[in-house]
Amino acid sequence: MESLGRQSYSRKEKSLGVLVSNFLRLYNRDDVDLIGLDDAAGKLGVERRRIYDVVNILESIGLVARRGKNQYSWRGFGQVPPVLSLLKEEGMREKFGIIPCVTNSEMVLYDQVREEPLKLSPDDQENSPSPKLDSKKEKSLWVLAQNFVKLFLCSDDDLITLDGATKALLNVSQDPMNMRTKVRRLYDIANVFSSMNLIEKTHIPETKKPAYRWLGAKAIAIAEARFLAAPASLCDRIEPRKRAFGTEITNFTTKRAKTDCSKDRKHYESQNTCSVIKQEQCDSKTAVKRPLPPADTSKKTNAGKSNNQSIDVLENLSSAHTLQYCNHELTGLLGHYTETWRTWHAEFGRK
DNA sequence: ACATCCCGCCATCTC
DNA sequence: GAGATGGCGGGATGT
């Protein structure tokens, strides 16, 4: 415990992107139904507050759905394309008053989603308790995330800068402070989506300004396979060059100290603490230790104090699960999901 | 210096 | 009233 206390702080290891990757690897399984927020926080070794960020963003694209107090359900990657379709439709309507052409196969999935009360926009909620609440919803991370996605789906531009997104998603004439706040949120959202491979960070060639490119459905299919805790060989093959998100479970250690920042850390020790876990996770030889932990939703773990538990869970995920999935399902899965997504690729995946 | 974004305070909502 | 939720922005970290 205490030995971890003085461990130097690395911001990247604590990023939302890493957290989301870990979250997805933890819950992207067939046997997952309900996700308890406390449980997630405990297993991932973060505060509850961060889990809210994660589920809000994931909910915006249909990966999870709120089921009640403290409870979300895992909907899975298969739910994303229909949601993207709806977002595109909604975005186009808002923008041009046009509904894009929808193919038959698209309609099937589209209808499936519609049957359930999938929360797609705040207005879908039949009862709007108060105008105040509405205005709060408008500002929510969830809505912002959806609008961010719409920008990509409905824009002709291949690249979107955060600046541009901020302006597009805010009424012009916002005060600079409000702007700053929004940009912070967009950074959060962009981190999450890029760690999922939905978008990728790049630069505007001319200006060198940072920008994001929509990668689309096909990329998600790959991402999904990736979050099944693939073995090293596969990890390396499908891991994008840019960020190493999705390979480390690292949110269980040091916190940023308000004042005590470790000066000795000049750069991210790119694969430091995590590399141990990363290696282990991808090393099939170490992958036979303990049986999988039961989905323990009853345990109220105090976020941040569950380091050992986190490691246990992650090791389990990385060992037994890796073998299980890799040996039996991964090969088939890749093909299966590529197939499922192919229909959508033309629509959502640029190039 | 500027870009990025973690962290946790605290207002608000829900039970 | 207590606990859940999540907007918000200070300020630390990264480039």
Domain contains A304: yes
- Nearest in space to A110 (alpha carbons), one of A155, A144, A62, A60: A62
Domain contains A171: yes
**pLDDT computed for residue A203 by the predictor:** 84
Which 269-298 positions of A have CB less than 7 A from strand B?
none
Q: Which domain holds residue A154?
A: 2-118+140-242+274-348
Nucleotide nearest to A191 (CA to C1'): B5
- Is the pLDDT at A148 greater than 50? The verdict is yes
Distances in whole angstroms, Cα of residue A315 to Cα of each of A179, A196, A305: 41, 21, 17
Nucleotide nearest to A263 (CA to C1'): C13
Q: Where does the pLDDT of residue A66 fall: very low under 50, low under 70, confident under 90, or very high at 90 and above?
A: very high
**pLDDT computed for residue A301 by the predictor:** 34
Domain contains A11: yes
Percent of chain A with pLDDT over 70: 47
**pLDDT computed for residue A219 by the predictor:** 67
**Are A255 and A264 spatial neighbours (Cβ–Cβ below 8 Å)?**
no
Contacts of A177 (CB under 8 A, 6+ apart): none
- Nearest in space to A91 (alpha carbons), one of A151, A138, A137, A13: A151
Nucleotide nearest to A186 (CA to C1'): B5
Query: Residue A202 CA to B12 C1' — how many Å?
Result: 38
The per-residue pLDDT for range A200-239, each reduced to its tens digit, is 888 887 778 889 999 876 666 676 777 765 433 333 333 3
Q: How many domains does chain A have?
A: 1
As ranges, strand B nucleotides with an atom below 7 A of a protein CB are 3-10, 12-15
Domain contains A39: yes
The overall average pLDDT reported for chain A is 64
**pLDDT computed for residue A147 by the predictor:** 92
Q: Where does the pLDDT of residue A250 fall: very low under 50, low under 70, confident under 90, or very high at 90 and above?
A: very low
Domain contains A248: no
Give me the residues near strand C, CB below 7 A: A 9-12, 37, 48-49, 52, 55-56, 69-70, 136-137, 139-142, 177-178, 180-181, 184-185, 256-259, 261-262, 265, 267-268
- Is the pLDDT at A45 greater than 50? The verdict is yes
Name the DSSP class of A247.
S
At residue A26's C-alpha, the angle toward residues A31 and A162, to 5°, is 125
Domain contains A265: no
**pLDDT computed for residue A36 by the predictor:** 93
Domain contains A131: no
Domain contains A10: yes
**pLDDT computed for residue A7 by the predictor:** 58
| Residue closest to C5 C1′ by Cα | A52
Q: Determine whether the distance from the CB of A139 to the nearest atom of strand B is below 7 Å.
A: no
Determine what percent of chain A falls in helix, strand and coil, rounding each to the nearest 5: 55, 5, 35
The per-residue pLDDT for range A95-141, each reduced to its tens digit, is 766 544 444 443 333 333 333 334 444 344 344 445 555 666 667 89
